[in-house]
A and B are shown apart, each in its own frame.
Chain A
Amino acid sequence: MQNHKQGHLGRRAALALGGGVVAALAAPNVRRLRAAEVLFVNTWGGIWERAAIKNLFEPFTRDTGIEIRPVSPVSFAKLAQQVRSGAYEFDVTTLGGGEIIRANQAKIIEPLEGTDLAKSPPFHGAVFQNGATSHAFATVIAYQKARYPNGAPTGWADFWDQGKFPGSRCMQRYASRVLPLGLVADGVPTDTLYPMDIDRAFRSLDKIKPATRVWWTQGQQSQQLLRDGEIDMIALWHARVLELQDEGKPVEIVWNQAQIDRAYWVVAKGTPRRDAALRYIEAALKPERLAGFCRDAMLGPLNPAAFNHLSEAEAARMPTAPAYKGKVFEQDVLNFGGDVNAVTQRFERWIGA
C-alpha cells in the first residue's frame, strides 16, 4: 500500500544517510589502512615539486617503501602551529636561512645531534642549525621587457628608483630577505651588509613601499604575477624566471646583485613520523639525487659531490656557478643585526601600515 512504500523509502533514505555519516567518519581510517607508511613533505608546488617528486620522493619510496605525499602550501607559521596543536600537516619542510634561526629559537624543529647525519656529515656544513643543507637559490630582479625598452634596471638601486624606472613592484613577504635588499639599494656595499642596520633598512624600504602592489608569499604566486603582467618588476627566485623564459615569455632576469639564500631540510618537532623523516632528509642529500633535483628545479646544490653528476652547461645556470661569483652576494644569517623574530614582527606590521 501507499503507506508501506513510503515507509520503505524513508527507511532506505535514512540508511543511506546514516551510511554516509559513517563513511564520512571512517574515511581517513580507510586511507590509513591502505598505505603502509606515509611521510608528508612540504613542497613549493610547480617546477619545484615536480623536480622533488622525480628525484627525491620516488627514489626514497623505492628504497624504503615509505610513500611520500606532497603538502602545499609552505608556511613557517604552520610549522609552529603543528607543534602546539599536535595535528601535523607535514613532517618535513624546507626553511631559508632567516627562518631556520627563528625555528631553532622557537624550538619547532627536531634537533639533529645524535643522528647519523650529524655524526658523519656527507660534506662540510651538511648540518646547519638543525637543518640538512640542501641547495642554494637566488632572489633576483625580473621585469617585463616591454615595459623598459630603453634601459633596464641593473641592480637594487635601480629597483628602488621609481623615477628612472616607473611601474609597480612586487617583493617577497619575508623580512630577512628583503631588508638586506633595502640596504643594498641604499648604497651599502654587499660585503659590509652584516650585521645590518635594521632602522636604515626600514627607512630604505619606506621609499619602495608605495610602489609595491603585492607582497608574495608562495613561489608559484610570484611567477603567476609576473606571467600575467600584473606587476612590472619583481624580486623573486631565479628558477621561476628561468622557467618563464624557457616558456618564451618576454621577461628578463638580472643576475647582478642577486641575493643567495640556502635551503635546509628540517623535521617538524614532535612529529609521529620522526624516524622516516630523518631518513628522508639524509637521503635527500645524496649526490645524484640532489644533482637531479637541482637540475630540474634550476637550483644550486650545496653538496660539492653533486657537481660530479652535472654537466658544465647545467652548472652554469645555477646561482652558485663561477660565472656569477663576482655578482651575487650571500646572506649571513648568524650575524643578522637583531632578533630575527622581532624584526619579522616589525616587518609584518610595517607592511600593513
Chain B
Amino acid sequence: MRGLLLSLGAVVLAFIAAPLLIVVPMSFSSAASLEFPPPGWTTAYYGAFFGDARWTQPTINSILIALAVAVLTMAMVTPATFALVRHRFAGKSTINLLLMLPLAVPHIVIAIGYYAYLSDLRLLQTFPGVILAHTALSVPMAFLVLSASLKGFDRSLERAAMSLGASPAATFRHVTLPVLWPGFAAAALFAFIQSFDETVVALFVSGRDSMTLPRKMFDSIRTTADPVIAVVSTLLFFTVAALVILPMLWRSFSRSRS
C-alpha cells in the first residue's frame, strides 16, 4: 500500500512536470505548428519574439503595469495590515472578509463589471484602468502574505527600541521595517506576479495601447500555433523559476550566515 502510494506519487509528479518542460523544446521548433517532437530546430523564433513590437510592447506593458500594481497595492495594504494585526476594534472580521472578497469572486464576473464601470469612467483600454483593476485583485494575496509576516513579528524588539528612547517613527524605520522586509518583498512579488499573469480581466479591460502579454498570448494561442508562443512560455517559465528559486537560495544563504 505504501509502496503503491509512493510510486503513484512519483507518477503524479511527472504528470505535473511534463507539460511545463515541453514548452522548452517547442520554442526551438522550426515548424509553425504544434508538431511534437519538432521536425527541426532553430533559434529563429527567439529572434522573432524580441524583434516583433507586437510581442515586445505587450511584454513591456505588462511589466510596467505589474510594477505600478505592486507599488499601489503595497502602499495601501501595508498600513491596513498593521491596523488589522495590531489593533483591536469592532468590525475587524467583516473587514477581513472584505479584503478576501476579490479572491472569492470569479474573474469573469468582476471582469464584466470592470468592463462596464471603466467604460463609463472612460478608463477602458488605458493603463490606469488596468492598473486599478489589477490592484484590487492583488489585495487579498498581498494582505495574506504581509499579515502572516507581521503576525510572526516579535514585538519585544520594538518595545526594546522604544524603551531605549527611540521614537515610534524611528523604531518603525530601523527595527520593524528591516525585519519585516522579506515578508514585504514577498507580498509585493505576489502582487506583481498576480498582475503580470492575470488574463481574464485583461481580456476585457486592456486594449490596443495597453495590451498585456497574457491578452496577446490568448489571442495568439487561439488563432495560430506560432512557436513564438512557446518562446514566451519558456521565457516566462525561467523567469518564474528564477523568482521562486532565488528567494529560497537567499534564505538558505542568510541562514547559513547567521
A interface list, Cβ under 8 A from B: 3, 6-7, 17-18, 20-21, 23-25, 27-28, 31, 40, 45-46, 71-73, 84-90, 217-218, 220-221, 224, 227-228
Q: Which one of A21, A28, A221 contacts B71 once the chains associate, using CB atoms below 8 Å?
A: A21
B contact face: mostly helix, strand, loop, or mixed: helix
A23 to B124, CA, bound (A): 19
Q: By the criterion CB–CB under 8 Å, are B119 and A86 in contact?
A: yes
Q: How many of chain B's residues have a CB under 8 angstroms from any CB in A?
A: 34
Known: A20-B71, A25-B127, A227-B33. A87 touches B207 (CB 8 A): yes
7 additional A-B pairs beyond A73-B219, A221-B222, A221-B224, beta carbons within 8 Å, are A17-B67, A21-B67, A25-B127, A85-B119, A89-B125, A89-B207, A224-B33
Q: How many A-B residue pairs have CB under 8 A?
A: 82
A228 touches B126 (CB 8 A): no
Contact between chains at A218 and B222 (CB < 8 Å): yes
Complex formed: what's the CA distance from A254 to B127 in Å? 48
| 10 A-B pairs in the complex with CB atoms less than 8 angstroms apart | A17-B70, A24-B64, A24-B67, A27-B209, A28-B209, A40-B208, A85-B115, A85-B124, A87-B124, A89-B125
Give residues of chain B (206-222) contacting chain A, Cβ–Cβ below 8 Å: 207-210, 219, 222
- Contact, CB under 8 Å: A3 / B174: yes
Complexed CA–CA distance, A84 and B68 (Å): 28
Q: How far is the CA of A17 from the CA of B73 in the complex (A)?
A: 13
A6 to B170, CA, bound (A): 13
Q: How far is the CB of B117 from chain A (nearest CB, A)?
A: 11
Whether B128 is near chain A, meaning CB under 8 Å from some CB there, is yes
Chain A residues with CB under 8 A of B32: 227
Contact A20 B67 (CB under 8 A): yes
Q: How far, in whole Å, are A71 and B122 apart by their CA atoms in the complex?
A: 21
B23 at the A/B interface (Cβ < 8 Å)? Answer: no
Which of B64, B210, B219 touches A23 (beta carbons < 8 Å)? B64
Interfacial chain B residues near A218, Cβ < 8 Å: 222-223
**Taking CB as reference atom, which chain B residue is nearest A218?**
B223
Closest 4 CB pairs of A and B: A24-B64, A218-B223, A85-B119, A87-B125
Are A17 and B225 in touch, CB under 8 angstroms? Answer: no
Q: Which residue of B lies closest to A23 (CB)?
A: B64
Q: Is B26 an interface residue (CB 8 A)?
A: no
Q: CB-CB < 8 A to B115: which residues of A?
A: 85
Nearest-neighbour CB distance to chain A for B121, whole angstroms, equals 11
Whether the Cβ atoms of A220 and B67 lie closer than 8 Å is no
Given contacts A71-B208, A86-B119, contact A24 B68 (CB under 8 A): yes
Could you tell me the distance between the alpha carbons of A146 and B228 in the complex, rounded to whole angstroms? 29
A224, B223: Cα distance in complex, Å? 8
Bound-state Cα–Cα, A6 to B60, Å: 30
Residues of chain A with a CB closer than 8 A to B35's CB: 228
User: Does B178 touch A at the CB level, under 8 Å?
Assistant: yes
Mark contacts of B59-80 with chain A using CB atoms, 8 A cut-off: 1 yes-contact digit, 0 otherwise. 0110011011011100000000
Task: Give the distance in Å from the alpha carbon of A220 to the alpha carbon of B224 in the complex.
Answer: 6
Indicate with 1 or 0, residue by residue over B101-145, a CB within 8 angstroms of chain A CB atoms: 000000000000001000100101111100100000000000000
